[in-house]
Structure 1
Amino acid sequence: MKLTIDVVMPSFRLEEKYVLPVLRLPRPDNAVIKFYLMADNPDIVPAESIRALADNNDVFLYINEKNLGASGTRNRGISVSKGDWILFLDDDVTVTDDLLFRYAAAAAEHPDEIGFIGLIHFPPPPSDFARALMVNGNVNIFSVAANKPSFTWGATANIMVKRSAVGDVRFSTDYPKAGGGEDVDFFLHVRDRNNEQNFRSLPEAAVTHPWWDDGRANYKRPYRYGIGNSRLGKYNPNYTYRNLPNTPETVLFCGITALVLLFTAPGWVIPVLLFAVGSLPVELAATAVMIKKRFPGSSFGVMFHVTILKLVNDAGELWGKLTHGEFSRITERFDDTGTIKKNTFFKTNTYKIVKWVLYLLLLTLLIIIWRKP
């Protein structure tokens, strides 16, 4: 019996230059391949070239009656498809002719795997911001197939899962519509459902992903990812642990402390607020030292962008918890590597040491100044 693989591609744009090469991919003889284009844009008018290929036999085109977002659209793709394997591809990846052959061969050779993580290449970084995304680890998951034999989850830009392993697990809609955290949540739940079996890496199955906004600085995406990541601990509590406050949390605690001092010891309000302001250059300094150690030769522009990326992501996580009234989850961290109840509260590294030494120096300086008669 032949393998059955369904390619599910959610898309808002249905751009011909990306979609058509996928639909025209050479198909291996040992597999039945069907394509499911899931258009999450009720107003879209698909190009004639795409409609011509949508024969409702090998290629199916579904247009959502309303915008369902990343999770809802992928869930619909899972529901309308029937194949034994589901290959998720983003709508902006460039594919190679052997992609389906690689996945089909892996499924045939390793039928007991719950899924295969494909490799996602990026072009050389065109800007300091793009380099900062690499240095900060924002795109590490895209290359995880090249660095680990297996992992707990993979980016939905290029990953294939076994339908029987997925079962009734679906992408949660309690994450940002445009994406952020829902893929981690989905694959971890699939993993947990299968006795914590990891997804096998398949670096031979490679695609190329363009830089978002052509590498121009845009902090909306990491902020949205931060908001999405704030939900992970709630739905996957076994993967959480506590850590020292990050900079946005420190600023929040300073603000609360200043508010209390306003009614109890108003003379100390200003130094507390100055400490909150001082935490920002401390973050920059600690990040710069860390980057210089791990990535020698990085420019100041890269260090600056990495600092802002960290602050924006952490602020998104904090905001996500605050808006849901989950105050007890502040300082909670999430470990997506599959380590259960990991505790790194007192674990140190260069970044932490520099940061907290500078915090102590700043605090000492402010106390000395404000205690002078």
Structure 2
Amino acid sequence: MNTSIDIVIPSFRLEEKYILPILQLPRPAGARVRIYLVVDNPAVQPSMAIRALIDNESVFLHVNPENRGAAITRNTGMEAGSGEWVLFLDDDIIVQENLLQVYATAALEHSDEIGFLGLITFPEPVADFTKAIEASGSMDIFRISLDRDAFAWGATANIMVKRSAIGDVRFSTAYPKSGGGEDVDFFINVRQRNGYRNFRSLPTAVVQHPWWNNDKVSYQRPYRYGIGNSWLPKLNPRYAYYDLLNTPETLLLAVLLGVIISVVRPACIKSMLLLIVGILVVELVASSVQVFKRRGLTSIKICYYVTALRIAHDAGMLVGILKRGEWWRMGQRFHYDGAINKVYFYRSNTYRIIKWVMYPLLWWMAWRAC
């Protein structure tokens, strides 16, 4: 076996239970493997067990002098090596012992590929909130290698890319330091640089990712990702298109119009408040029907969480564009599958049909109530 792999692990926590098994992964015979552990938290001190494995020959440690964010940290690790392939792993995954063997074999058997999408599994969800995360569809990218033979991008928790395919493409620092959007941007640009060729799926390269926040309810992650994803259409306009307004955008419009109408006709304040509540109810109904179609019967609580997760992400996108003063980007979306398609309002599904049949009815009822 004659190949070389650089493993890049950005870390903020540097937890032994995750880091040590990665550093101790069995190396395939004949393959040169080098690991670049880049710590983006100077306050964290590596444990003695981790330090014992840092030999500056096959395992390297770099500590950023300050918190520089996910993009710079990954770029630092990537630029430190010179291997033919770059394997990106997260710092909170559980790795299978054959991970490097699977990737090294794929690199030799399919050396013309630009990269490989590994499989990222999660524990069986127990809490209603984690069941909702799974039912929401936001997890699909982690198991994309099971659903597609190839795809335009993958999660940085487990993906290997050919260095020559990367060229001068880097993770953009325009995105939030805490992450969100920069992974899509990076891989979609690597793909574009290589004639729009997708990354090959490799579902036998498996890692397991724990549920975030110890299964507790938190909307910070989808909100943060929404802010980051709001940059994608701006920085990658060839994949951008316009669609009907989402719920936070519709709520903002309803509030603004409600203020204006209520000034002119104070008696309309109550009907405008009912309109706002109605928009949220419509989102809950539409999301619940979508969950039922995807997963079958489920609880009202799970449907509520799915709705709240979607609103949190879309609210982050709205906040992102408004913070930049780019109000005209309301309704602008991004083709995550790498499609270059500028057609407007073309998709139709049950979720959209329910919303856009009930919305006109809501507005009509609010108007009549005035």
Residue 291 (str. 1) matches residue 285 (str. 2): no
Residue 68 (str. 1) matches residue 93 (str. 2): no
2:330 is aligned to 330
1:23 is aligned to 23
Q: 1:154-193 deviations in whole A, cap 9, x for unaligned?
A: 0000000111111111111111212111100000011111
Instruction: Name the stretch that deviates more: 271-280 or 15-24.
Output: 271-280
Measured in 1, the distance between the counterparts of 2:294 and 2:138 equals 16
1:144 is aligned to 144
Does the CA contact (< 8 Å) of 2:268 and 2:369 recur in 1?
A: no
The within-5 A match list for 1:225-264 is: 225-262=225-262, 264=264
Query: What's the secondary structure of 1:341's corresponding residue?
Result: coil
Instruction: Name the stretch that deviates more: 65-74 or 276-285.
Output: 276-285
Residue 168 (str. 1) matches residue 168 (str. 2): yes
Does the CA contact (< 8 Å) of 1:30 and 1:104 recur in 2?
A: no
Which one-letter code corresponds to 1:197 in the other structure? R
Measured in 2, the distance between the counterparts of 1:361 and 1:254 equals 14
Q: 1:283-335 deviations in whole A, cap 9, x for unaligned?
A: 11111122222221111111010000111111000000000111111101111
Measured in 2, the distance between the counterparts of 1:261 and 1:369 equals 12
The within-5 A match list for 1:115-264 is: 115-262=115-262, 264=264
1:268 positional shift: 4.2
1:2 positional shift: 2.5
Over the aligned positions, Cα root-mean-square deviation in angstroms equals 1.5
Q: 1:239-261 deviations in whole A, cap 9, x for unaligned?
A: 11111111110111112223433
Does the CA contact (< 8 Å) of 1:258 and 1:272 recur in 2?
A: yes
Query: What's the secondary structure of 2:189's corresponding residue?
Result: helix
Query: What's the secondary structure of 2:14's corresponding residue?
Result: coil
Query: What's the secondary structure of 1:338's corresponding residue?
Result: coil
Does the CA contact (< 8 Å) of 2:254 and 2:276 recur in 1?
A: yes
Percent identical pairs in the alignment equals 52
TM-score (norm 1): 0.96
Measured in 2, the distance between the counterparts of 1:61 and 1:346 equals 49
1:270 positional shift: 4.5
Query: What's the secondary structure of 1:102's corresponding residue?
Result: helix
The within-5 A match list for 1:26-105 is: 26-105=26-105
The within-5 A match list for 1:357-372 is: 357-370=357-370
Q: 1:192-227 deviations in whole A, cap 9, x for unaligned?
A: 111101011110110111111222111000000000
1:2 is aligned to 2
Does the CA contact (< 8 Å) of 2:119 and 2:142 recur in 1?
A: yes
Which one-letter code corresponds to 1:74 in the other structure? R
Instruction: Name the stretch that deviates more: 264-273 or 148-157.
Output: 264-273
Measured in 2, the distance between the counterparts of 1:54 and 1:343 equals 52
Which one-letter code corresponds to 2:29 in the other structure? D
Query: What's the secondary structure of 1:173's corresponding residue?
Result: coil
Measured in 1, the distance between the counterparts of 2:120 and 2:161 equals 16
Query: What's the secondary structure of 1:120's corresponding residue?
Result: strand
1:274 positional shift: 3.0
1:115 positional shift: 0.6
2:282 is aligned to 282
Does the CA contact (< 8 Å) of 1:38 and 1:64 recur in 2?
A: yes
Query: What's the secondary structure of 1:60's corresponding residue?
Result: strand
Does the CA contact (< 8 Å) of 1:117 and 1:154 recur in 2?
A: yes
Measured in 1, the distance between the counterparts of 2:344 and 2:101 equals 42
Query: What's the secondary structure of 2:111's corresponding residue?
Result: coil
**Count of aligned residue pairs for this structure pair:** 370
Which one-letter code corresponds to 1:98 in the other structure? N
1:271 is aligned to 271
Q: 1:118-147 deviations in whole A, cap 9, x for unaligned?
A: 001111002111111111111111100111
TM-score (norm 2): 0.96
Measured in 2, the distance between the counterparts of 1:24 and 1:267 equals 70
Measured in 2, the distance between the counterparts of 1:276 and 1:107 equals 54
